[in-house]
Amino acid sequence: MKTTLLKLAILALIAAAGCTKYDNYAAPEAGIFGNIIDAETGQPIETKQPGGGSIRLLQWDLQKYPSPQPVDISIKADGTYSSTRFFADDYKAFPWNGPFRYLDDSVNVTLSDGRLTELNFEVHPYYRVAATVSDSTFTYTLTKSAANDSKLVEVIFMVNDYPIVNENVCSNVAGPGTYYPNLWKLPIGDDVADEAIMDMPQTFTINWAETRLPKGDYYFRVGARAASSPSSTYNYSPVVKATVN
């Protein structure tokens, strides 16, 4: 009986070895990086990561890849992107799914092993947001991009106790399962035209007691959302550090 079991075990090992396939592809060693720039100001866009837009790449050899699958690289909060895990090949690349309009064609780019290739893009953010904070009052100014054919639908105000601030990262955790979202929303009605509020300083004051935070130094940010912004993404002000007295 033991001999029979031993023979069966050996046969199983031989069968498994015969079915084993080894990956003989070299590891991806090509990279790409760049900046997402406001086409009208020349400045990097303000966004968030993840969820603030992506750079999409497609391997572009329709004989080899008749239905190429997209690979997306998240745009970082400072408007940059990078990845070092691509196979050397020819690609088409373009920015998408962010709070901006991209009016150009996709770009042909060749990625090579052992090399980082720089590729920058110019986009048109729906809005530009500037903000200052004094105590618990925001003073903010919105500017509409010349390429923006949409309408402002919402402005948001956020507070956090560390420098990463967006609508998903602005909560005061008071204990297990208890948190207070330090996010205030200002809806903009259909009857309010963009022209009525663009390029003019506006103010918004929060009731600090609602944050459940002690007074002190905090980080603030303002966001603006266009009706046609994909995935309900926002344009943001730079993060502002201020003291609440």
The pLDDT of 70-98, averaged and rounded, is 95
CA distance 215 to 198: 32
Q: 237, 4, 44: which is closest to 140 by C-alpha?
A: 237
All structural domains of the chain with their residue ranges: 30-124, 126-243
Single-letter amino acid, residue 111 = L
Query: Domain 30-124 is in which class?
Result: mainly beta
The pLDDT of 122-142, averaged and rounded, is 97
Say which residues have a Cβ less than 8 Å from residue 32's Cβ, sequence separation at least 6: 55, 57, 73, 82, 83, 86, 93, 109, 111, 116, 117, 118, 119
Single-letter amino acid, residue 24 = N
**What pLDDT does residue 23 have?**
54
pTM: 0.84
Which pLDDT band, with edges at 50, 70 and 90, does 67 fall under? confident
Same fold for the pair 30-124 and 126-243: yes
Burial class (CB within 10 angstroms; exposed 0-12, middle 13-18, buried 19+) of 105: exposed
The pLDDT of 9-17, averaged and rounded, is 48
**What pLDDT does residue 182 have?**
92
pLDDT at 8 over 50: no
CATH number of 126-243: 2.60.40.2060
| Spatial contact of 129 and 236, defined as CB atoms under 8 Å apart | yes
